[in-house]
Amino acid sequence: MKIVHCSDLHLGKRVSGNKDYVNKRYRDFFIAFATFVDKVRELKPDICIIAGDIFDKKEINPDILSKTEYLFKQLRDSVKKEIIAIEGNHDNARILEESWLEYLQEQNILKVFYYNKDFEEKNYLKIDDVNFYPVGYPGFMIDETLTKLSEKLNPNEKNIVIVHTGISGRTNTLPGLVSTSILDLFKDKAIYIAGGHIHSFTTYPKEKPYFFVSGSLEFSNIQNEKSDKKGFILFDTDTLDYEFIEIKHRKRIKKDFSYTNFSDLENEFENFVKDLNLTGEEILVISMSVNN
């Protein structure tokens, strides 16, 4: 069985800036998802996994819903068996009567799963010879939740876990991240753990990884995201081979300036911009500091 895994689409995200920039960046997230859909159409996988944060916010407007529904219908036609999605922290709708993810499920576009205390029984799907456990977003309950699930899994079966989390560490301090000691519990019990939440491609452990974070399809935080690579993962449940497939996105250029004389900084910045030959379609991330 072939599976594609993406996460953190953040459809409908609005950044700050002038009107032209805001509108371009709003479209970028839909363009990235459309590019992903085109790639999936070529690959024709059996399963598509979306590991959380389909939307950037719990409340969406008609334009966001219309664009999202259109692209998801195309995606549905490109996947042989099922689209399996979980709720992330951004599209968590517990304060609302109903999630917009539920609407997409009612249109028979995807199957969506939410974290709940009975997730082991409710969040389970068997397709062919693979058991899927879509956990959702446990938040601060992440360690307890995954420990509980690890005790249930049969190592003699093909188990895939879907959870909106990344690996905790010195630079990753978001709530809802998991420690490697918890992930170690799934060694020989899960052939693939589909993660999200963190926007850069990550695998664990280094040798023969079974935990994967695909990263976001578009820059959600243009300044703090380390990697310039955006894409998704293709995984084969029979061979356990995986491939990170990069997709094109708006070019990001980063530059740090630090001077003791403001006039020097201004002159070099002007020369730097001239040498870039910008087309107006790039994202330019500039950090400036003047030391007195």
> By the 8 A CB rule, do 162 and 129 touch?
no
CA 283 to chain CA centroid, nearest Å: 20
Domain boundaries of the chain, sorted by first residue: 2-246, 252-290
Q: Average pLDDT in the 19-23 region?
A: 88
Q: Is pLDDT at 95 greater than 60 in this prediction? A: no
Q: Average pLDDT in the 215-223 region?
A: 83
CA distance 95 to 56: 16
Please state which CATH number belongs to domain 2-246: 3.60.21.10
Average pLDDT score over the chain: 89
Q: What whole-number percentage of the chain has pLDDT above 70?
A: 91
273 or 105: whose pLDDT is higher?
105
pLDDT recorded at residue 281: 76
- The 10s digit of each residue's pLDDT in 26-72 is 999 999 999 999 999 999 999 999 999 999 998 899 999 999 999 99
* Helix (H) or strand (E) segment spanning residue 149: helix 142-152
Q: Is pLDDT at 159 greater than 90 in this prediction? A: yes
Q: Which two three-digit tokens encode residue 149? A: 């699930």
Q: Which two three-digit tokens encode residue 223? A: 């300044």
> By the 8 A CB rule, do 202 and 223 touch?
no
Q: Which of 195, 110, 77 is nearest to 101 (CA)?
A: 110
Q: Average pLDDT in the 143-172 region?
A: 92
Q: Which residue's entry shows tokens 């995606």?
A: 75
Angle between helices 19-43 and 62-78 (to 10 degrees): 20
Q: Which two three-digit tokens encode residue 167? A: 């690996």
pTM of the model: 0.90
Q: Which two three-digit tokens encode residue 280? A: 């107006």
pLDDT recorded at residue 290: 67
- The 10s digit of each residue's pLDDT in 195-209 is 999 999 999 999 999
**What count of residues does the chain have?**
292
> Strand (E) positions, the chain?
2-6, 47-50, 82-86, 111-113, 125-127, 130-136, 158-163, 192-195, 202-204, 211-213, 231-236, 242-246, 252-259, 283-290
- The 10s digit of each residue's pLDDT in 225-275 is 677 789 999 999 999 999 999 998 777 777 777 766 666 666 777 777 777
Q: Average pLDDT in the 218-230 region?
A: 77
Q: Is pLDDT at 96 greater than 60 in this prediction? A: no
